[in-house]
Every structure is written in C-alpha cells, then in structure tokens.
Amino acid sequence: MRVFYDEAFRLPLSSAELGPAIETRRADDAVHYLLREHAIDRQAIFQPEVISYEALGRVHTPEYLDAFQEPATLAHIFAVDASDVVGDELLRTVRLGCGGTVAAAHSTLETGLPGLNTFGGFHHAAPDRGAGFCAVNDMAVAIAALRAQGFSGRVGILDFDFHPPDGTSACLGKDPSVWLGSISGTSWGQLEGVDETVLPEGAGDTEYLAAVGALLSRMPQVGLVFVLAGADVLAGDRLGTLALSLGGVRRRDLLVAHRLAGLPQVWLPSGGYSTHAWKVLAGVGLVLAFDSEEPIPLDYDPLASRMNGISRTIASSDLGDDPIITEADVFGTLGGARRDGPHRLLNFYTPEGLEYALERYGLLPLIRRLGFSHLHVVIDRIGAYDRARLLGLDSASGQEGTLIELEVERRRLGEGTFLFINWLSLRNPRAAFSALRPQLPGQEVPGLGLAREMTQLLGLMAKRLVLDGVAFRPSWYHMAFAARHGARFVTAVRQGQFEALMRDLRDVPLLDATRLVADGRVTLNDRPWKWEADEMVRFREVPAVQPDAEAIALERDRCRFAVAPA
C-alpha cells in the first residue's frame, strides 16, 4: 500500500475544537498508529503536491475557483467564521488533499498497489459550489487528470460516507464511463447517476453489511475504484444517525477490500465527526496491510502516544538543564535574591529550550499556519509565579501579541508535589467571536485550537521535572469538564459534587451549561450555589483504585443540581 499524507492535512482552523466541526487530527492520528503497528514504514508515505488550477479547472468553473480568493467562500464551506480563514493556508490544505487523491490514483494505476490518501473524499463539491467541508471534488479532478493522460478505463466510486454524494453526482453523474454506488443514512432526493441505498435511522452492522454486499454485487467491471470509507456511519457521530460499531465498519472495509482484490484502488476517509473517526481511517490501513480485524484498543490516545514518542527524543540539555551551576542558581537554591537576568521557568527551562520544545511537538508550525510569525518565548516572574509567554507577529496587522501565557510553580498538595498552573491562556488575537464561535465565560480572545496539545505538554513537563502530576484551579465549569477524564478534584467532597453536576447537566449543551453555572443559575439541593475554583490534579501515574471512591460516591448521591428558572 502507498499512503499519501502531509502534516499540513491538519486543517489550520483554530476554532475546530468547538462545535460540530471536523476532527482535525484524524490523518496525523491514523498515520502515527499505522507506523507504530508496522502496517507501513516511512518509505510507504508519500507527500502530495498542491493540485494545480489547471487540474481543478477541468472540473470546476472559473467563477467558483475565483471565489476562493474571498475568505467567505471557504469559511462557508467549513462552517467557520471568516476571521478563522487565514490567507491561503486553508486553500493550500484543500489543494494538498486533492493533490493526494490525484497522486494516489496515478500511483495505483502504475504500481497496482492500493493507495490511501489520508485527506480526501470531498463528495459534496460540485463544479460550481462547495459544501459540507468539501471545497473541490478530488475524485472528479483525479479522473479528469487521468483522462487527460489517456486513461480510458471505466471508473467505480463506492461512497460509504453517511451523506449522499450530491457533489460527485453533479460532477460525474452524466459520465457513462463512471459508475457511482452509495450507501447513505439520509436521502437528499434522487441523485443523477447514483446507485443509492438509503438506510433508516439507527440501522446497525447487520443491515448495513447486507447493503454493502448487495451494492458490491451490482458494481460493474471497472479499471479503477475510489472507496469513500466514511466514518460518519459510526454510532454517536455528531452528523450521522446510523449506528455501526467500529467492528462493523472494519468488516465493511474488509468486505470491500476482498471484492476489490487486484484492482487499482484509492481509499479516502471522507466524513467522520466523532472521537473514533481516526480509528476508521487507521482501520483502512490495517485492512490493506494485514487484512486485519483486530480492534484498536479503545483507550489508546494517539496524541499522547505521539507526543510521548517525541519527548523521548528530546534531551533535557536541549530544554535548558544547564549542567554548569551559576552563582545565580546557588542564590536561587538558597532562597536568596533571584537573578535579574533572563529567568528560567521553574529553574529549568530557558526561553530557547521552550521554543525548541514547542517546535518539536508541532505547536509552533501550527501557530505559523494560523498566520503568526517571529514566534519567540519570554520568561519572567509575575508575583509568586514563573511566567512564560509565547509572542508572535500577526502577519496581517504586523502587531505583536501574546499567543500563549503560562504561570506556574511547584506546589505541594496532599501527598504529592505538582506542576501548579496558576494561569494558562491560549489566544488567537486574529480570530473573532461569532455565532459560529461563541465566547466562553472567562475568555477574552478566542483560543488557538491547541488545548489538547497543551494539556499533553504540561503533563510531559511534570514528567521531565519528576513531579507527581499537574494541578490547576478551574475557574469555570467547562474547564473542569474538559479535564474530567484525566483529572480530579483533590477533595472527595468536591469531586463528588462535580460528578453530580455533570450527571445532572448531561442533557444541557456544554456552552449553555457553563454559562448557567457561571451566572449562578444552578441550584444544589434546591439552594443557591456558586462554582468554586478548587484544586484539581492530573496524576502522572493514575492510582488503579481511588482510595476515597466511597466518599466521592456518597457526596455524588447526596447532591442534586438543577437549573433555576430565569
């Protein structure tokens, strides 16, 4: 198999962590997993080229391609605020993805090896418009590129995305040399040239796999196949209503791979809007490499695994651990006057060391793609805390701004010593709040979309400094909620309350819930109640049994939260 992948497949959208939007790390996660499992080696990964306007022009109208110059066009397609579309970077990502599908199609015809492009299957893009995260129709562009080079074979497209292939039908529905087969979970009416099966809401593995078998039996003889291995058929998908299991989706892909054995084929991820979406993409790789039905462990966290792996290749001496003890260090150790010169964060990290870490973990490359340059770290002290700030120039306004601000100290809590976060702010001063990007309580400026990376990074800092974990005081409900899986409140009473609050607000959307809590609109056992920013900790080594589980359960059962009428 050949895998087409580029780090720039991650969409440069700082708002992508909120709302129903895309899983931006899907390609990174899947490729990392396939390398780790030795399903592929680095030689099997190919970096695509940005697709040319000449190639796009064989499918899309000049007026539509012109409209890409307006940020509003892509903002509309990706359902983000126009302030989130930075320069040409989003367009470059889309063109790279399309380039990947074209390269995969050429490659599979040349070598006979299956091609897997890890960002593609944009089936809602029509010649003159885009929609639903699809700006250009990469399958149609690839077929037109092959035709321009003399390929005359019949082409099949098997579209297993939850949504109907309206764009592909508009591009190719009249082309007798292309056969379009689709299984969808919703109907958008009759689509020209599409053999479509629509399954009812809630349909599961058995029903779906029967439909797959039937569709495959109707597929004519073809010389090249595109497979849209959509992940939005999974149960719990934010934009889908089918109910497949991960095992069911894998069996779908095995069934298809067996039917296509020996045929030139290109696999594409298309849609997928759940935290498990990357597992479907990685699963395609496992099918093509090993014919494997082996599930991916449920609790496997590809981001943590990736960043841990990078951490092992960074020496402490790269980060600032200076073996030469200076006079200032001695004063510092003795608790005397701190040196006036450039500080080190927690007596360890130099500004250069933090810049190096942020670069290696991929945060600075992403922040550059969001439109900032001249990124550099400044370390100083503010009150009792060490402060590190990442500053950068906004390439549009030329103004310097703070992009990351972190205040920390070592703090003893209970039995352990923790990396205590007094303040952490990820800021994108270019972005604006809007209906698509609502302001959270306590937020001055929209974020960078890097909260998960930052959480991992802080955990790795605690590890590097041989601390027991990370501690912080969530000022708002949504901050504690975001940390709920790995972290807990220090006291059993507070943790029990928090678990009861999550239980009682489970049907309220998070944005509403955090506002209601912040506004004092939530009562505890029919009494007015106020959120307190107590200490939460995220241990490096999670104890298998919580010693105070009983006390937590007792408090959880005692607490009943309710939303008070306005």
Footprint of Zn ion on this chain (CB under 5 A)? 161-163, 232, 271
CA angle 308-309-311, nearest 5°?
Answer: 60
In the bound complex, which residue of the shown chain has the CB atom lying closest to Zn ion?
Answer: 271
524, HSE (Cβ side, Cα atoms, 13 Å): 18
What's the rounded Cα separation, in Å, for the pair 335 and 329?
10
DSSP element (H, E) containing 413: strand 400-413
Least CB distance to Zn ion at residue 271 (A) = 3
What's the rounded Cα separation, in Å, for the pair 245 and 208?
11
Least CB distance to Zn ion at residue 118 (A) = 16
> Please, which residue, 277 or 458, has the CB nearer to Zn ion?
277
Parallel/antiparallel/unpaired status of strands 224-228 and 178-184: unpaired
* Spatial CB neighbours of 546, under 8 Å, sequence gap ≥ 6: 488, 552
Q: In what order do the strands lie in the sheet with 488-489?
A: 372-382, 385-394, 400-413, 416-426, 469-472, 536-539, 488-489
3-state per-residue secondary structure call for 355-366: HHHHHHCCHHHH
Q: Is 519 left (phi over 0), alpha (psi -120 to 50) or beta?
A: alpha
Least CB distance to Zn ion at residue 268 (A) = 12
Least CB distance to Zn ion at residue 95 (A) = 21
Least CB distance to Zn ion at residue 163 (A) = 4
Tokens representing 253?
Answer: 């892909």
Task: Output the CA–CA distances (angstroms, integers) from residue 336 to 328, 330, 333, 502, in the order listed.
Answer: 9, 8, 7, 46
> Please, which residue, 230 or 353, has the CB nearer to Zn ion?
230
> Please, which residue, 181 or 271, has the CB nearer to Zn ion?
271
Contact 12, 366 (CB under 8 A): yes
Least CB distance to Zn ion at residue 60 (A) = 20
Least CB distance to Zn ion at residue 89 (A) = 24
> Please, which residue, 171 or 470, has the CB nearer to Zn ion?
171
> Please, which residue, 168 or 428, has the CB nearer to Zn ion?
168
> Please, which residue, 118 or 455, has the CB nearer to Zn ion?
118
> Please, which residue, 99 or 272, has the CB nearer to Zn ion?
272
Between helices 246-259 and 277-290, what is the axis angle to 10°?
40
Least CB distance to Zn ion at residue 97 (A) = 15
Least CB distance to Zn ion at residue 146 (A) = 25
Amino acid at 81: D
What's the rounded Cα separation, in Å, for the pair 478 and 501?
12
> Please, which residue, 163 or 306, has the CB nearer to Zn ion?
163
* Spatial CB neighbours of 356, under 8 Å, sequence gap ≥ 6: 314, 318, 319
> Please, which residue, 120 or 447, has the CB nearer to Zn ion?
120
Residue 282: what are its φ and ψ, rounded to 5°?
A: -65, -35
Least CB distance to Zn ion at residue 373 (A) = 35
Least CB distance to Zn ion at residue 387 (A) = 44
349, HSE (Cβ side, Cα atoms, 13 Å): 27
Contact 141, 117 (CB under 8 A): no
> Please, which residue, 186 or 443, has the CB nearer to Zn ion?
186
> Please, which residue, 273 or 481, has the CB nearer to Zn ion?
273
- Which ranges of 125-245 does DSSP label H, i.e. alpha helix? 138-148, 166-172, 205-218
> Please, which residue, 77 or 483, has the CB nearer to Zn ion?
77
Least CB distance to Zn ion at residue 347 (A) = 51
Least CB distance to Zn ion at residue 162 (A) = 5
> Please, which residue, 271 or 449, has the CB nearer to Zn ion?
271
DSSP element (H, E) containing 390: strand 385-394
Is residue 418 helix, strand or coil? strand
What's the rounded Cα separation, in Å, for the pair 385 and 419?
11
Q: Is 218 left (phi over 0), alpha (psi -120 to 50) or beta?
A: alpha
DSSP element (H, E) containing 376: strand 372-382
CA angle 503-505-510, nearest 5°?
Answer: 120
> Please, which residue, 99 or 269, has the CB nearer to Zn ion?
269
Is residue 276 helix, strand or coil? coil
Least CB distance to Zn ion at residue 103 (A) = 23
